[in-house]
Amino acid sequence: MDHIGNSIRRFTLRHLRDLGMGKSKIVSAVLYEAKELVKVMKKQAGVPAPLPEALTPAVINVLWQMIASKRYELDDQEVIGFERLMEKVRNGAVRLSMQDIIPWIKNILPETIFNYIIKKHNYSKLSDTMKSKFQSTIDEHLKILDKNNPRDFIDDYLIEMDKQKNNPDSTMSIEDLVGCIGDLFTAGLETTSMTINWIVFYLATFPHVQKKLHEEIDEVLPKGTVFTLEHKSRLPYTEAFLSEVFRYSSLVSLGAIHTTRREVNFAGYTIPKDAFVIPFLGSVHYNPKYFDSPQEFQPERFINSDGKFETPKEGLLPFGVGKRKCVGESLARMELFIFMTTMLQELHFSTPPNKSLDLTTTDIPFLRPPKMNQNIVITIR
């Protein structure tokens, strides 16, 4: 959300934090999508196959419900088309971000090369298509906006924008709302769906861990029990597992780009003023200073001597650090926890006989996604 003003960031942070703390509407929406995804997964039970394509639409639905009170069937061509559009926009943005990650590349490659990339991948056109969809959704909300009964993020934003219309310091506008929605999808779509992929891959790869999770969930959430956030504190191993997924996968390997305001001396290096600084979060997650045996997958590292879940004060940074850390952290944690527990209530995941999963990553700028399209065997419990 780099291009969005501080006032909008504060508004968004407050809104998402409230949702992540457990507003019933969004919890119900996540539960519904998780159960719909489990239904699809059950259809491929017993057959070695990649995770179903419905996974990403389920995550998209959670975001659309939160942002605009919309949802689609998981096989709806509109939501599938939106998924492909977002993927193309991300791919184009990744190529262009090389100018920021490796700034000296501009001294080697002429500007025409970057213009060619934009043209070849239709980045501007794709971005305009995405913005047009968001704008039409906002227009629909404006027509039926009830200031006394806000339904979602767009309604809340429009109401707050109206309150701030005479505030000269306010930066809230329709244009920035379009950008904000784009940022929410960019930050919350692929990271969540990729994390769910990692969750399943680790469950299948470490069956002893999955066994402990099933035992804990069966005791607290026997089949048929509807998850509520009150159950979370009674699932310490499940929370520990999710934290270890964050650490071990280090999906978001690079943090937000910062700029030095003055020359800085750090660890024997002189960093000049106005230099780009990109934190390498993955290096912290595998630092023995913070984690014993960091190359091993051990959820127990987040369980204290009293058997309770405990997050270390330092070392675990899946959502970044500082004022510019991910604004949707509380919502993402809640969403992933519900998807994970709902799947484990009813399903078991394993590798095909005599096969193993490739847990190396497909490195792209800022992300370390798993290698997709690997076969998993799903068993109904």
The SS3 call for residue 377 is: strand
CA distance 64 to 70: 5
Taking residue 75's Cβ as centre, other Cβ atoms within 10 Å add up to 12
Please identify which residue in the block is written with the tokens 């999770």.
213
CA distance 233 to 212: 16
CA distance 90 to 93: 5
Residues 189 and 59 sit within 8 Å (Cβ to Cβ): yes
CA distance 154 to 177: 8
CA distance 261 to 222: 54
Sequence ranges of the binding site: 326
Residues 280 and 347 sit within 8 Å (Cβ to Cβ): no
Q: In the chain, at which residue ranges do the beta strands (DSSP E only) sit?
A: 258-259, 264-266, 269-271, 276-277, 347-350, 377-380
The SS3 call for residue 309 is: strand
Please identify which residue in the block is written with the tokens 């490739």.
358
Task: Output DSSP code: residue 279.
Answer: -
Sequence ranges of the binding site for heme: 326
The SS3 call for residue 352 is: coil
Q: Which two tokens stand for residue 326?
A: 């991910």
Residues 6+ apart with CB under 8 A from 170: 7, 161, 164
Assign residue 320 a region: left if phi > 0, alpha if psi is -120 to 50, beta otherwise? left
CA distance 6 to 23: 24
